[in-house]
């Protein structure tokens, strides 16, 4: 059994909600292979994204989780990448999009219980840790974009990949409405880059 000096946050005492929806943040961790590692000059052919497993499932997900009151959405995305996938890197704080979905435990209910609003970012990985807090819960898998599309559990994840491809190739990313500070939510400041 592996041990790690890093700890995951537990509980939902500091969890953010908006109109009864749990706010979550996540990222698409990625790396660019060197040009001599591939036969193509196309940037997108050199991209690999990091996906993680969920216990008992074949499909893969991107690291994401609760956005808490003492952090920005970008900080939450970085924290989740570290806790669930054991990676650090450079976060591009252009929001890839905002998606509404249900937590996996409440997929079949009609109430707002389990409703989430997720904010996704791109994280260029600069460090991959051997030990990280949720190593025993999630396996990591680096995949090319074409495989990532096939392995995504949900449609919103494929939409996030489309926005990610647009970001990398300089095409416009769908506009995301700014969040007002008065609602104690984070304000999006496009194109600022933060180290995680």
d(CA 15, CA 84): 18
Query: Domain coordinates of the chain in residue numbers?
Result: 17-172
pLDDT digits (tens, 9 = 90+) for 69-91: 999 999 999 999 999 999 999 99
* Superfamily, domain 17-172: Nucleoside Triphosphate Pyrophosphohydrolase (3.90.79.10)
pLDDT reported for residue 42: 83
Please state, rounded to an integer, the average pLDDT across all residues of the chain: 81
Is residue 186 exposed (0-12), middle (13-18) or buried (19+ Cβ within 10 Å)? buried
Q: How many CB atoms lie within 10 A of CB 169?
A: 10
Q: Report pLDDT digits (tens) over 82-131.
A: 999 999 999 998 999 999 988 755 444 544 567 999 999 999 999 999 99
Give pLDDT tens digits for 5-22.
565 656 567 889 998 899
Contact call for residues 150 and 109 (beta carbons, < 8 A): no
Interval 143-172 mean pLDDT: 93
DSSP for 80-115, please give it. HIIIII-EEEEEEEEEEEEEEEE-GGGTT--SSTTE
51-77 average pLDDT score: 91
In this prediction the pTM is 0.80
With H, G, I as helix, E, B as strand and everything else as coil, classify residue 112: coil
């Amino acid at each position: 059994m592996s041990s790690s000096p890093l700890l995951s946050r537990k509980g939902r005492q500091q969890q953010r909600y908006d109109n009864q929806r749990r706010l979550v943040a996540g990222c698409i961790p990625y790396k660019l292979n060197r040009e001599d590692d591939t036969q193509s000059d196309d940037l997108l052919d050199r991209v690999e994204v990091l996906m993680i497993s969920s216990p008992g499932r074949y499909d893969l997900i991107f690291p994401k989780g609760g956005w808490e009151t003492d952090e920005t959405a970008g900080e939450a995305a970085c924290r989740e990448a570290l806790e669930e996938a054991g990676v650090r890197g450079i976060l591009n704080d252009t929001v890839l999009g905002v998606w509404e979905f249900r937590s996996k435990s409440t997929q079949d209910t009609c109430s707002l219980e389990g409703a989430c609003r997720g904010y996704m970012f791109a994280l260029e990985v600069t460090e991959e840790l051997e030990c990280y807090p949720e190593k025993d819960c999630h396996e990591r898998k680096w995949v090319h974009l074409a495989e990532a599309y096939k392995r995504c559990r949900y449609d919103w994840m494929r939409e996030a990949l489309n926005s990610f491809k647009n970001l990398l190739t300089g095409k416009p990313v769908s506009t995301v409405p700014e969040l007002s500070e008065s609602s104690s939510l984070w304000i999006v400041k496009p194109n600022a880059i933060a180290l995680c």
